[in-house]
A and B are shown apart, each in its own frame.
Chain A
């Protein structure tokens, strides 16, 4: 008999256990990582949803947030603490949020942020296949997005096609925070040297690129490695995950 379907929180889908091939991996790491089945939000968190969160969690309102947890750009496109305003339509993805804010939101829902492995694993699905890595049309679409600057006004969430699992907007709308963003240790040559970040690491596990022609994956790793947990930027939002 098939198992009963788990009752998932509204708006989440089940991503079944599967194999993820990390783009960067330590020399000692396996080529494949088994990603345990998890639940993932079908859509990125919207401004409307985040507005509800800051209503009930006033410490995350723009004028009250501690600057340890969010830089000066926090919710910069909002008109006021509880007024997103014309530049921040309620159905668009919330951006200008820090990693800490994203985590706090997820916790308030009894959820968490997805890990890099979970996010990348879910994001390799094309509209028709769980593993879209050989789907050239899909890959081209994704690549097109990475080569287009983020528009001033973001589109509403859910406007992109659903992937194999029914998840939308993993590509094509905004970049997304992941729980372990600060494990991406691409430095120096991949994104221009500069500052303290380009200084030494103890590469107890040093890394190598698995599939150098997967340019979008490379972009994401480079981007994550440039982030700090208090950064709030225009094209970086998030969605939540949950253990099954």
Chain B
């Protein structure tokens, strides 16, 4: 059986141009002000990804700990913004998934995109990506981290990746579903995950 490698002949650079950060977008600020007052205080579980103590930067340029995602199940994907092949497809998939969720479920889950590209995916680049893909700021978290942080997260997610000489990343296409404690509940591999199955898994988590 042939190795299933999809060759991504993507152009190398961020689609530059009219992609400026939307200065009026202050939802992220609202979000941080409206975090639930009661923060879970029990210790993280043995298998919680939120034990990773790496510090990330979100697309507002603010320092971000993964543990701040605690309390809300997350759909996590590693990507890079200049990918012109599978990453945009995955993001489109996730948006379709989000749109298909009943509103009461939708409000209770988050989507986290973590970049492989520590250098090029600056907060500004990620903010542009958010704008370009119309990712709502209350549900979607976009993160940049140091190469070591990226390596750690990829390791706990089981994501493999490699940067080639041109700066493109080969990487696993893996969608990970975390419960509210940051434990891996389910992983969906490939470009065509079963939306119904993902929806069912998310519902189970939220209703749990």
Contacts and interface: CB of A to CB of B under 8 A. Distances in A.
A196 B156 CA distance: 15
A140 interface: no
Interface string B64-95: 00000000000000000001011100000000
Nearest to B48: A68
Contact of B5 (A68, A180, A193, A201): A201
B34 interface: no
Nearest to A205: B164
A204 B52 CA distance: 28
Contacts of B166: 28, 205
Contacts of B164: 26-29, 204-205
A203 interface: yes
Contacts of B160: 182-185, 201, 225
Interface string A157-172: 0000000000000000
B78 to A, nearest CB: 11
Interface of A, helix, strand, loop or mixed by DSSP: loop
Interface string B161-200: 1111110111111100000000000010111000000000
A196 B187 contact: yes
A69 to B, nearest CB: 8
B170 A68 contact: no
Contacts of B47: 66-68
Nearest to B184: A68
Contacts of A230: 156
Interface string B83-110: 1011100000000000000000000000
Contacts of A68: 46-49, 51-52, 156
B189 A200 contact: yes
Interface string A196-213: 111111111111000000
Contacts of B189: 196, 199-200
Interface residues of A, number: 39
A87 interface: no
Contact of B3 (A27, A187, A196): A187
Nearest to A195: B189
Contacts of A202: 6, 8, 83, 85-87, 169-171, 173
Nearest to A188: B3
Given A201-B5, A202-B85, A228-B158, A67 B46 contact: yes
A203 B7 contact: yes
A229 interface: yes
A182 B1 contact: no
Nearest to A29: B165
Interface in A20-36: 26-30
Contact of B83 (A29, A69, A204): A204
A183 B162 contact: yes
B206 interface: no
Contacts of A29: 164-165
A13 to B, nearest CB: 25
A193 B191 contact: no
Contact of A99 (B51, B155, B168, B190): B155
Interface of B: 1-8, 10, 46-49, 51-52, 83, 85-87, 151, 154-156, 158-166, 168-174, 187, 189-191
21 contacts: A29-B165, A67-B46, A179-B151, A183-B162, A185-B5, A187-B3, A187-B4, A188-B2, A188-B4, A189-B3, A193-B1, A196-B158, A199-B172, A200-B189, A200-B191, A201-B6, A201-B160, A201-B170, A201-B172, A202-B6, A204-B10
Interface of A: 26-30, 66-69, 99-100, 179-180, 182-190, 193, 196-207, 225, 228-230
- The 9 A-B residue pairs with the shortest CB-CB distance, nearest first, are A205-B164, A199-B189, A229-B155, A203-B5, A204-B168, A26-B164, A202-B86, A204-B8, A183-B162
